[in-house]
Chain A
Amino acid sequence: MTILLDIAGLSVCYGGIKAVAEVDLVVHEGERVALIGANGAGKSSTLKAVAGLMVPSSGQLLYDGTPLERLAVWQRVGAGLCLVPEGRGVFPRLSIEENLLMGAWHRRRDAGVLSDMERIYGLFERLKERRLQPAGTLSGGEQQLLALGRALMSRPRLLLLDEPSMGLAPLMVEKVFDVIRAIAGSGVTLLLVEQNARLALELCDRAYVMESGKVVLTGKADECLRDARVQEAYLGGDQS
């Protein structure tokens, strides 16, 4: 398997505070990788550094063999790197259709944009019915689906998902994860940041566990699921 994303010694600072310290992380092409940990462990900051929304204070980020610092934020989407931000980040006053079009921003008038939109409407019936309504009128779960659909419009190679289950009802979480599973099934590589460790570990192939800015554990997802420390800290003891 070829390496798609290679993070080596990444540190991210907010002022004097180090949010991410010397993180090494590898994502192979076609793989599903989970990044789990408690609040403030540095998961989102890692993701933001990859997407270009934060400037790393040190470390080397290689995407498909090229150093990421050579790509400006707005060029990364074109290269196939797409972030679904925390809290969904749909544009509430734009219509659902306009939101989807924003996802295909870098593709301009590519003929495939409309057919991709139809394909996404096929996945999400609800969105098609309401495509001319402002996205702000959708429920939280529907907004998350829209955010996923919008990201798909960019034809990503590597999809960065920041807490897709946040603030959603359990039924909706299930639905969102079904969609994520389907996206991964279509060959898109995933890097998933999630607080709901069980969900993430059940979906992914491999996992990294972060604690106060450092990677403390890494391995196959099912091994992590059985790991005593992970069970203690994130899965609520000996439930499984």
Chain B
Amino acid sequence: MKGVSCRWLVLGGAALILLPFALELLLGNGWVRIVDFALLYVLLALGLNIVVGYAGLLDLGYVAFFAVGAYVYALLNSPQWGLHWPIWIALPAGALLAACFGVLLGAPTLKLRGDYLAIVTLGFGEIIRIFLNNLDSPINITNGPQGIELIDSLHFGSLSLGQMHHVLGLRIPAVVNVYYLFLVVVVLGMVFSHRLERSRIGRAWAAIREDEVAAASMGLNTRNLKLLAFAMGASFGGLSGGLFAGFQGFVSPESFTLQESVMILCMVVLGGMGHIAGVVLGAMLLAILPEALRAAGDWEQMVFGRIWVDPSNLRLLLFGMALVLMMLRRPGGLWPSNARRNELQGQ
């Protein structure tokens, strides 16, 4: 039994390592890039899962932490301030500041639950975006709606991930370098989430999620535990944002709209709240499917000889239908945790 799972692990690992080369050969570089972004979404979804899935705090402004991380990296690694800091400072700094913002959001909302909390967090997300949009005067910090350009690509010392490298005669383009970095971060994020879920703190979050009054009467410091959930979740968002800025080379407020927050929440819910594998699956699907559906226009052309529905509308239509169907057929998500599945079957 153990040998079998070990073999799967090795096979899966090898597949993940070879994936970018296969994609590049079969579908071109653009698809490696799409997978890179999908990995960032996975990291975001893992972070939001801590807040929503583990601690049960509905957060509709999660993208704000992504924005904070992205702008921290951008400011520390661009001509904007003339700074070029190494990523082992810039990325943790973004994650840390995002965590502080997480506490800042959490503190005034400690007594709110469910819909009310969702509304405040939604407002918070918008506030951050609007701030980024307007902090170009009186002192220019964020460069306003124009955003920050010419951000240094992710680099370790003199080794830049933003260029093509040749290793043993193998061409490794920038998107593939970045893929490996993101993959490592995502795997670490999954391991961390897994450990967290089974820890004393994870159990306490579950208790607060299930019955806050009972949890408080068991002597749990619900205030600090909820703030910790916000901070932990936010730090994932901040880290992901830093990686995004270094990869994209450009950040502007319009990348951090409410729609992104909703999308990340959909990933968590669709995949299976509180279940790491489910969340990863949800994020991958929702990040990649819309891109795949771009090709729908060609198919329509082929089958009907003309385009009946604009592919971008079709994407949204199918997306909406998928969500409705899912909620009817699999209310626990595509891949819920065992406990949740049993519970839903019992009802």
Binding site for B on A (CB under 8 A): 51-53, 72-78, 82-85, 89-94, 98, 101-103, 105-106, 134, 136-137, 150, 154
Contacts and interface: CB of A to CB of B under 8 A. Distances in A.
B217 interface: yes
A-B interface, 6 closest residue pairs, ranked by CB to CB distance from nearest? A77-B219, A89-B214, A83-B217, A91-B210, A74-B221, A106-B219
30 contacts: A53-B216, A53-B217, A72-B221, A73-B217, A73-B219, A74-B216, A74-B220, A74-B221, A75-B219, A77-B217, A77-B218, A83-B217, A85-B211, A85-B217, A91-B210, A91-B211, A91-B215, A92-B210, A93-B343, A94-B203, A94-B207, A98-B203, A98-B206, A102-B220, A105-B204, A105-B218, A105-B219, A105-B220, A134-B342, A137-B346
Given A74-B219, A85-B213, 19 more contacts: A52-B216, A53-B216, A73-B219, A75-B219, A82-B218, A83-B217, A84-B217, A85-B214, A89-B211, A89-B217, A90-B214, A91-B206, A91-B207, A91-B211, A94-B207, A101-B203, A102-B207, A106-B219, A134-B339
Interface string B181-192: 000000000000
Interface in B18-60: none
A85 B210 CA distance: 14
A184 B24 CA distance: 72
A150 B215 CA distance: 11
A150 B211 CA distance: 14
A134 B207 contact: no
Contacts of B222: 74
Contacts of A53: 213, 216-217
A52 B217 CA distance: 8
Contacts of B218: 77, 82, 102-103, 105, 150, 154
Interface of B: 203-204, 206-207, 210-211, 213-222, 339-340, 342-343, 346
Nearest to A51: B217
Nearest to B340: A93
A93 B100 CA distance: 31
A102 B218 CA distance: 7
Contacts of A84: 217
B228 to A, nearest CB: 14
Contacts of A83: 217
Contacts of A105: 204, 218-220
A93 B339 contact: yes
A14 to B, nearest CB: 14
Contacts of B343: 93, 134, 136
Contacts of B214: 85, 89-91
Contacts of B203: 94, 98, 101-102
Contacts of A93: 206, 210, 339-340, 343
A112 to B, nearest CB: 16
A102 B339 contact: no
A216 to B, nearest CB: 28
A76 B343 CA distance: 34
A73 to B, nearest CB: 6
Nearest to A52: B216
Contacts of B220: 74, 102, 105
A102 B215 contact: yes
A94 B202 CA distance: 11
Given A94-B206, A101-B203, A134-B343, A154 B219 contact: yes
Given A105-B204, A134-B343, A136-B343, A94 B219 contact: no
A135 B211 CA distance: 13
A77 B216 CA distance: 9
A133 to B, nearest CB: 9
Nearest to B346: A137
Which of B204, B210, B340, B346 gathers the greatest number of chain A CB atoms within 10 Å?
Answer: B210
Contacts of A74: 216, 219-222
A154 B346 CA distance: 32
Contacts of A77: 217-219
